[in-house]
Amino acid sequence: MNTARLTAHIEDLLARYREAGYFPSASVRVFNAHETLATACTGDAREDSLFDVASLTKIATTTRILLAMDRGQLALDAAVADCFDEIRQDAWLARRFDGVTLRMLLTHTSTLTPWFPFYSRRDEDFWQVLHYALEHTEVVQGMEYSDLNFMLLGELLNRISRTTLNEGLQSELVEPLGLGRMMYHPPLEAHIVPSCYDNAIEMQMCADRSIAFDGFRPSDTEVRGTVNDGNAHYFFHDEAGHAGIFADTQAYAKLCQFYMNSPSSLLRAAQKEQPGAPTRGLGLQTGTAYPHGCGHTGFTGTSIYFSAEHDIGVVAFTNRLFFHQPSGQNTGEFRRALHESAFALAAK
């Protein structure tokens, strides 16, 4: 592969999409199973910049869950109710979770509502709010992406590891895999790219549902080093299974490489579409946006893509929400262009 050509192409893509208003800053890393092939940055981002990776947190959560399954601590088709006394002891929740398995949480086929502002009832504990949220929302049919799935998986990790999510992240992933800069609660002296100015989007989501919450950040406040996601920030104190991690592109490239090199049949299966879950692997996403591979996205403008079959991957971190007035640009077009370019150049 001509790495100079690849780097120049990525730099050109970054320049064009930044100029078009898709994001103010971005950091991109292209890699194969063993090494970095190219990096590029724009705006205020550097190679070592930390980004709020949003739902890419789910990939760290997924990896820890799958490794626990490989160790025999969990079973893929175990009933969720069997994992939590709180569900079994609540007759209504026990009925609601009847037939729901860990596999269904990982593939977003759990029947749970896509989203609920837990912070609107932050004086209650997680299980009380979960009961309320599910009792007041419809049962979902088929595959429906839901943060609640990974809130539950985060709670499960706390139970089996007997540590906080950040402690478990460090001891089970970051240190043994040599990931480097991946963490909850980043040090403020680090170079952190701001993610947004406030929670205007979630404010509107609450208003649309006639749900009141008076604890939102002040409007036009730069958010840097704390989590954009409302539930992760206001309810889980910046440490949740669905969101909360900060990282640089190298950390997630190394995590992707772990999957690309893993001999585990479970981790290999996770990269493939699962029966009954269109475009979903185990925790990972499949489909045309990820040529011959898989990946995931984060609401703040982050994404990963890798193809073990074709030995190529891309981590792209942007801060697409860091505008005083949201641009409305869908970074999916930018991600697809990056993935297709890397795949095409790797295939030559």
According to the model, what pLDDT value does residue 220 have?
87
186 and 313 share one domain: yes
Buried b (16+ CB within 10 A) or exposed e, 63-86: bbbbbbbeeeebeeeebbbebbeb
Q: Do 212 and 248 reside in the same domain of the chain?
A: yes
Within a domain: 318: yes
What's the pTM value of the predicted model, to 2 decimals? 0.97
Domain count, the chain: 2
Query: So what's the pLDDT on residue 44?
Result: 97
In the chain, count H helices and then E strands. 15, 8
- Assign residue 311 the CATH number of its domain: 3.40.710.10
pLDDT digits (tens, 9 = 90+) for 109-147: 999 999 999 999 999 999 999 999 999 999 999 999 999
For 236, phi then psi, to 5°, come to -100, 5
Q: What is the DSSP letter of 319?
A: -
Helices 3-19, 332-347: axis angle to 10 degrees equals 170
Answer for the pair 127, 97: CB distance below 8 angstroms, yes or no.
Answer: no
Establish if 100 belongs to a structural domain.
yes
**Residues 249 and 47 sit within 8 Å (Cβ to Cβ):** yes
Strands (E), 184-320: 246-247, 294-298, 302-307, 312-318
Select from 9, 24, 100 the least CA-distant residue to 324: 24
Verify that 209 and 141 share a domain, yes or no.
Answer: no
Q: For residue 61, is it within any domain?
A: no
Same structural domain for residues 225 and 315?
Answer: yes
Residue 206, judged by CB atoms within 10 A of its CB (0-12, 13-18, 19+), counts as: middle
**Burial of 263 per CB tally in 10 Å (0-12, 13-18, 19+):** exposed
Tell whether 219 and 314 lie within a shared domain. yes
Tokens of 250: 């190298």
User: Where in the sequence is the domain holding 13, given as residue range(s)?
Assistant: 3-54+176-347
- Per residue in 224-245, pLDDT (tens digit) is 999 999 999 999 999 999 999 9
What digits encode the pLDDT tens for the residues 3-29? Answer: 788 899 999 999 999 999 999 999 999
* Cα-Cα end-to-end distance for the chain: 7
Identify the domain boundary among 132, 163, 194: 163
Pair (192, 325) in one structural domain: yes
> Do the domain assignments include residue 171?
no
The whole-number average pLDDT for the span 48-52 is 98
Average pLDDT score over residue span 56-64: 98
Element spanning 40, H or E? strand 36-42
Q: Same structural domain for residues 100 and 196?
A: no
The 8-class DSSP code of residue 90 comes to S
Dump pLDDT digits (tens) for 98-111: 999 999 999 999 99
Q: Is 78's pLDDT higher than 90?
A: yes
Yes or no: say if 79 and 94 are a contact pair by the CB < 8 Å rule. Answer: no
Residues 297-304: what's their mean pLDDT? 97
Check whether 328 has a pLDDT greater than 80. Answer: no
H/E stretch holding 37 reads strand 36-42
Alpha helix segments (H runs only) across 74-226? 80-83, 85-88, 91-96, 102-107, 126-135, 147-161, 165-169, 175-177, 200-208
pLDDT exceeds cutoff 80 at 345: no
Please, what sign has the CA dihedral across residues 178, 179, 185, 191?
positive
How many Cα atoms occupy the beta-carbon half-sphere of 1 within 13 Å? 22
